[in-house]
Structure 1
Amino acid sequence: MKKFSLFSLLLLFTLALAACGSGDSEEASGDGGDSDSDSNVYTVGVDTTYPPFEFQEDGELVGIDIDLINAIAEDQGFEIQIESMDFSGIIPAMQAGELDIGMGGMSITEERKETVDFSDPYFESGLTLVTAAGNSEISGLEDLEGKTIAVKNGTTGAKFAADNEAEYGYEIVQVNDSTAMFQEVGNGSSDVLIEDYPVIAYAIEKSSLDLQIVGDKLNGDNYGISVLKGQNDELLQKINDGLASLKESGKYDEILSKYLGE
């Protein structure tokens, strides 16, 4: 009987310790849960060689996209961290869980919609051909047979070039950033490049590039802000609500005018 009582006491003591341990575990888990406040900080991937949308000026990251996402974050009450990378790496980084938001003058395309969800459009753009200044041989796609065309990896310009290569008979040269693409044509290594109209118009005016825009726009497209498909509906709603708020308040037009003078 005494043995049974002693055993019972030991059992009760063990259960009491376990209960205390369980309480401590729950408390620790609760403390860790406080880190959920970090979910209000979103990482944004951008290509910082893409003026006027993202670029470095006096050591500071500026541009339409930078001002826009900061204004949206302020309007919607969340914080952001900017990550710089090649444009072609933005969507893969989102797929790898390294980014929450992708920007960089990203055109809304059906192909990209298979991987990401886009915000409402925030800028109407279009592709254009660019040659070295003074080049009078090229005025459109029909003049590109036997020529070389420089494109930036992962862009709609690169896709357009690939889709039309067989029809117009040019050779494609792929590079990783806008600067390298401009140099390809500026130094005569390639005959022509494809770039979004607002980007190249800004670059030629502000950087005194020895380049010229030729012909009409090759297409029309819209830029959107992207999140990983089907996984960030709440964040996407915040972005759309922020965009709408900025347009209503006039802040959106203010940001565009700052860089485009429109």
Structure 2
Amino acid sequence: MSTLIRHLRSGALLLAAAVPLLGMAQTKTAGADVLAMIPAEIKARGALRVGSQQTFPPIEFREPGKAEVTGASRDLLTEMAQRLGLKIEFVQAEYAALIPGLEADRFDMASGGISDTEEREQKVDFVNYMFSGGSILALAANKDKLDTIDDFCGKGVATLLGSRVIMAQVEAASERCVKAGKAAIRAEQLPSAPDARMQLDLKRVDGYLGDFPALVYMSQQFPGRYRIVGGNYMLTQYITSWAFAKNRAGLRDAVQKAMQSMLDDGTYQKALDKWGVGGAALPAISVNLPASKRTK
């Protein structure tokens, strides 16, 4: 079992949302060399526009009936922006619209569970800030043998529109099903996480595919309703990141350096620990370093 899984399954998420971020290091200001990297129009605005789907608990989400975005990413972004002398302005966008929104300059950076991949790096750049992985949520009442994605031959799964890393694994498993003489896996892609999970609740699909931390958090909010397929099964591991347009290299590097300073002084780890995802911490804040290029 990986370090990430052990930490996330430790039960820390049960208390995470209620624990204030105590002991956080006093906010520091980035050096003049870092501040000089920030584009002039962003400095003038005084705020970073962050595109976010806001349906990715416990990383970045809105609690029912509330307008404020909360979560581990929100805490990291807020602290990072303060070090750059900026504020955060969240701009709601569906997951599939995040990268197009960057390209259209709707926002300065995109957040909300985006994974860095070599394919996506052809369009945008990434600042990597935590480990994650894709898992499968099933209804607890479903007694079928569902331990891995290969047990879904002839069954349906739902996930977010634009989740290419997860869909690649589903498509590969579906091909294995067909080669074995079984029915293919039926995959539905929906605009938001609640839409995709609704397909599971309505029993239109047998599994909802999403990020492991979010699925653990979700199952804990509804005791007895859901189970993680295989207990801690991950069909893929990846690096959760913030995305930047190719013409925003200065902003990208300023964010990376501010985040690295947070890692160095312990602020980064405390923010992740608050939300029960401390085991997802990276050893360094990197740029364009997806799981496919990592040795550990």
Question: TM-score, normalization: structure 2?
Answer: 0.71
Contact conserved, 1:186 with 1:211, CA < 8 A, in 2?
no
- 1-side partners of 2:272 and 2:204: how far apart? 34
Instruction: Tell me how far 1:227 sits from its aligned partner.
Output: 0.4
Distance 1:36 1:197, change over 3 A: closer
Q: Which amino acid aligns with 2:241?
A: G
Residue 245 (structure 1) aligns with: 261
Q: Which amino acid aligns with 2:211?
A: D
Q: Show CA shifts across 1:185-207 (max 9, x none).
A: 12211011211111100111134
Aligned length: 227
Distance 1:261 1:154, change over 3 A: closer
Residue 192 (structure 2) aligns with: 177
Residue 116 (structure 2) aligns with: 108
SS at match of 1:91: helix
Summarize the alignment of residues 17-36 of structure 1 with structure 2, pairs less than 5 Å apart.
none
- Give the one of 235, 252, 270 matched to 1:218: 235
Q: Structure 2: 5+ residue runs without aligned partners?
A: 1-39, 178-183, 279-296
Distance 1:261 1:164, change over 3 A: closer
Determine which structure has the larger helix proportion and give its number. Answer: 1
- Give the one of 130, 136, 153 matched to 1:123: 130
- 2-side partners of 1:197 and 1:217: how far apart? 7
Contact conserved, 1:203 with 1:209, CA < 8 A, in 2?
no
Q: Which amino acid aligns with 1:55?
A: F
Residue 166 (structure 2) aligns with: 157
Instruction: Tell me how far 1:224 sits from its aligned partner.
Output: 1.3
Distance 1:67 1:157, change over 3 A: same
- 1-side partners of 2:254 and 2:186: how far apart? 43
Instruction: Tell me how far 1:139 sits from its aligned partner.
Output: 1.5
Greater Rg, structure 1 or structure 2? Answer: 1
Instruction: Tell me how far 1:111 sits from its aligned partner.
Output: 1.4
Task: Tell which deviates more after alignment, 55-64 or 198-207.
Answer: 55-64
Residue 228 (structure 1) aligns with: 245
Q: Structure 1: 5+ residue runs without aligned partners?
A: 1-33
Q: Show CA shifts across 1:63-103 (max 9, x none).
A: 11111111111112223321011111111011111111011
Summarize the alignment of residues 42-53 of structure 1 with structure 2, pairs less than 5 Å apart.
42-53=48-59
Calculate percent identity across the aligned residue pairs.
24
SS at match of 2:56: coil
Residue 136 (structure 1) aligns with: 143
Task: Tell which deviates more after alignment, 155-164 or 235-244.
Answer: 155-164
Residue 200 (structure 1) aligns with: 215
Task: Tell which deviates more after alignment, 251-260 or 54-63.
Answer: 54-63
Question: TM-score, normalization: structure 1?
Answer: 0.80
Contact conserved, 1:127 with 1:220, CA < 8 A, in 2?
yes
Q: Which amino acid aligns with 2:142?
A: N
- 2-side partners of 1:104 and 1:130: how far apart? 19
- Give the one of 40, 55, 59 matched to 2:61: 55
Q: Show CA shifts across 1:22-57 (max 9, x none).
A: xxxxxxxxxxxx977425532110111111111113
Q: Does 1:148 align with 2:156?
A: yes
Bigger RCO (CA 8 Å, 6+ sep): 2
Q: Show CA shifts across 1:93-150 (max 9, x none).
A: 111111110111111111111111111x211111112211132322212221110111
Distance 1:185 1:243, change over 3 A: same
